[in-house]
Amino acid sequence: MSTRLVVTCERHLEDAQNLVAGLDYPCEILTIEMVDHTLASKNIELAITPDALANIIYTSGSTGKPKGVVQNHRNLLHNCRNYTNPMQISARDRTTLLHSCSVMGAVNGIFNALLNGAALYPYDIKTDGLANLPQWLLDEKITIYYSVVTLFRHLIEFVSTTEDFKSCSFPDLRLVRLGGEAVFPQDVALYQQKFSDGCLLYVGLGATETGAIKLFVADKTTSIEGDQLPLGDSVDDMQVRLLNDAAEDVAPGEVGEICVQSPYVALGYWQNEVRSQQAFLLDPTGGNNRIYRTGDLGKFLPDGQLIHRGRKDFQLKIRGNRVETGEIEAVIVSLNQIKAATVIGHRETTGEMQLVAYVLIDAANTSNDSAKAEQQAALRSALAQRLPDYMVPAGFIFLDHFPLTPNGKVNRLALPTPTTADFQASTATYVAPSSPLEKTLCNIWADVLNVNKVGIDDNFFELGGQSLLATQIIASIQQQ
């Protein structure tokens, strides 16, 4: 497939010319300023088959290098139908376009609106700012709000703390749609607190390679049990399976990779045949229901609901135990005053893998070293009551915002590198050892925990201690 036409604008004309200059075949450049607006707008009756290639959309790159996903017209129209029907999009709707136009979320929003005759309202957060978004939603009488979860949380925090919007329920909004990142019960609670009784919440599980996979719908009375949100009901012609590394279905109740079997998965990755063969499997029955491996982990509950358990890329082995970081994140954000959390694995110089939690919290709670240490201790204590010790993060880093990819997802690759201080905060005032025995014991603790000094009132777990390190301390005590 060769690109024969590049559509751009005067602002990006030089970039387009540089791109075309590297091609070994002719390719025209058209700027939108060159289009004759007096041309007839009637249907040009150009025949396009369902199998014709429609576009190449790049993945977000939040878990690695972005990949160009090739889709045909059939797949895009099928995906549009799977959003149109349950959300009942019509010509009466006025929908937001808050995504960058280069990502699948924007393609969904554009097609869902225009193919149903709805009005589409672009808004550039970077240029126009979050502070102007609430009034814009009111002025334009927006009926469908659609964004990634991070932006939604920022919006609700802003309107909840701004006097002009505290009592506003955005009466024209009939539907809030969230996607792109994990949604937690706390996000549903934010929706229930802020929007009118006639407004519904739609949470979509999907991928650039598949479009919509499942839809969860909530209203103002929906009650959610546990720390995680069920992923909802399957959409038409999208079968969800949980597979192991050998592409076999896992046993009931076990965690497996979320895979989608359907005739409507993407054709593959642009100019990346090796990656395409890894991610897209042939129909084992010889039909056209190919299988796409999403890289997400999931678990079916006894009632058939699917729970998201994080990314396969982020599945870690901690002291021999398999850990899904998404499960830890869900527990952290269920705690009071926690706005959001991201958990990653950090390998120590000794080679040991440690869990590090990046947490968004009110700056007043971490305004100085003492407050930070108290908050770290409180988090460790709360998590220790709800998680096995190997799942409690050894380090906590408090941030006022997460680094984001261009389409608003958390950019894990840009998170700050942990320092020693992030693993050894203590709420205790330092009290030096006074006897030879105390000095020996404190030195053993410091060596094993890899901290500068230990006082006699310090807490083992607040210094990053865990069961395996405890056995090392016992062994050192016995030796000395």
Judge whether 295 and 311 are in contact, CB under 8 Å: yes
Q: What is the 3-state secondary structure (H, E, C) of 55-74?
A: EEEECCCCCCCCCEEEEEHH
Q: What is the structure's pLDDT at 425?
A: 55
Q: How far apart are CA 40 and CA 358, in angstroms?
A: 55
- For CA atoms 447, 448, 450, 452, give the dihedral sign: negative
Q: What is the structure's pLDDT at 226?
A: 78
Given 276, 310, 344, the domain boundary residue is 310
Tell me which residue range forms the domain holding 351: 312-479
Given 295, 310, 325, the domain boundary residue is 310
CATH code for the domain in which residue 387 is found:
3.30.300.30
Q: How far apart are CA 320 and CA 323, in angstroms?
A: 9
On whether both 206 and 235 belong to a single domain, the answer is yes
On whether both 323 and 459 belong to a single domain, the answer is yes
On whether both 36 and 136 belong to a single domain, the answer is no
Q: What is the structure's pLDDT at 432?
A: 85
Judge whether 182 and 149 are in contact, CB under 8 Å: yes
Judge whether 262 and 240 are in contact, CB under 8 Å: no
Residue-wise pLDDT tens digits, 351-382: 567 889 999 987 666 667 777 778 888 888 88
On whether both 222 and 242 belong to a single domain, the answer is yes
Judge whether 95 and 120 are in contact, CB under 8 Å: yes
Q: How far apart are CA 389 and CA 379, in angstroms?
A: 13
Residue-wise pLDDT tens digits, 262-297: 999 999 999 899 999 999 999 999 999 999 999 888
Q: Where are the alpha helices (DSSP H) in 304-368?
A: 325-333
Q: In DSSP terms, which residues pair with 209 in a beta bridge?
A: none
On whether both 362 and 242 belong to a single domain, the answer is no
In this structure, what token pair is assigned to residue 61? 């790159």
On whether both 303 and 317 belong to a single domain, the answer is no
Q: What is the structure's pLDDT at 308?
A: 84
Chain CA centroid to CA 69, Å: 19
On whether both 30 and 59 belong to a single domain, the answer is no
> What is the distance between the terminal CA atoms of the chain, rounded to a whole angstrom?
71
Task: Give me the amino acid identity at 219.
Answer: D
- How would you classify residue 452: left for phi > 0, otherwise alpha for psi between -120 and 50, otherwise beta? alpha
Segments in the chain below pLDDT 50: none
φ/ψ of 327, rounded to 5, equals -65, -40
Judge whether 454 and 446 are in contact, CB under 8 Å: yes
Per DSSP bridges, beta strands 338-347 and 353-361 are: antiparallel
On whether both 253 and 316 belong to a single domain, the answer is no
Q: Where are the alpha helices (DSSP H) in 147-245?
A: 149-161, 185-194
Q: How far apart are CA 125 and CA 103, in angstroms?
A: 15
CATH code for the domain in which residue 242 is found:
3.40.50.12780
Please tell me the total count of domains within the chain: 3
On whether both 273 and 380 belong to a single domain, the answer is no
pTM above 0.85, yes or no: no
Q: What is the structure's pLDDT at 460?
A: 78
The number of beta carbons lying within 10 Å of the beta carbon of residue 370 is: 12
On whether both 196 and 289 belong to a single domain, the answer is yes
On whether both 7 and 149 belong to a single domain, the answer is no
On whether both 150 and 277 belong to a single domain, the answer is yes
